[in-house]
Structure 1
Amino acid sequence: MDIDRIIRMNELTSIVGLSRSTIYRLIQEGKFPKQIHLSIRTAGWRLSVINEWINQKETI
């Protein structure tokens, strides 16, 4: 699996086990990585950044 690929919301919710609304709330609180805007209506997240976030959560 390419660690630096861009993932979209459906895959993100599956990977982190959080709902869309929880992810957006955590972004607003500064507790979750912000998305990368790919176009006006499209956004995604770098898989490497999400994996780092998951690893940091496990060490807490």
Structure 2
Amino acid sequence: MTHLRPLPGVYRWEKSTVLPDKLIDLREVCGIVGLKKSTVYSLIAEQRFPRIIKCGRKTLFSVNQVNAWVQDRIKESELVT
């Protein structure tokens, strides 16, 4: 029987482990947060949303920052209730 060993630089992810960051476009952001593009851009202008990352002509966002923003909104709503 062959025993498999992890390759150098390859890690196993556990539930508590933060996954590597990824860049997503505005369409994906709107799907995650449930807001329209215009609302997201308004929040960015008011500095109340994660900053955009320009990559050439593309407008991208850090998925970790967007998810953290969502979690902050959830925490805020729990404090009000």
Matched, 1:45 2:61: yes
For 1:17-36, list aligned pairs within 5 A.
17-36=34-53
CA RMSD of aligned residues (A): 1.1
Percent of pairs identical after alignment? 33
Count residues with an aligned counterpart. Answer: 58
Q: Is the 8 A contact 1:36 1:45 kept in 2?
A: yes
Q: 2:10 corresponds to which residue?
A: none
TM-score of the superposed pair, with normalisation by structure 1: 0.89
Provide the rounded CA distance (Å) in 2 between the counterparts of 1:26 and 1:19.
11
Structure 1 runs not aligned, ≥5 long: none
Runs of 4+ more than 2 Å apart = none
Q: Greater relative contact order: 1 or 2 (C-alpha under 8 angstroms, separation 6 or more)?
A: 1
Q: As a proportion of its length, which structure holds more helix?
A: 1
Residue 59 (str. 1) matches residue 75 (str. 2) = yes
In the alignment, structure 2 segments of 5+ residues that lack a partner are: 1-18, 77-81
Please give the TM-score of this superposition, normalised by the length of structure 2: 0.67
Measured in 2, the distance between the counterparts of 1:3 and 1:49 equals 12
User: Offset at 1:3?
Assistant: 4.8
- Structure with higher Rg: it is 2
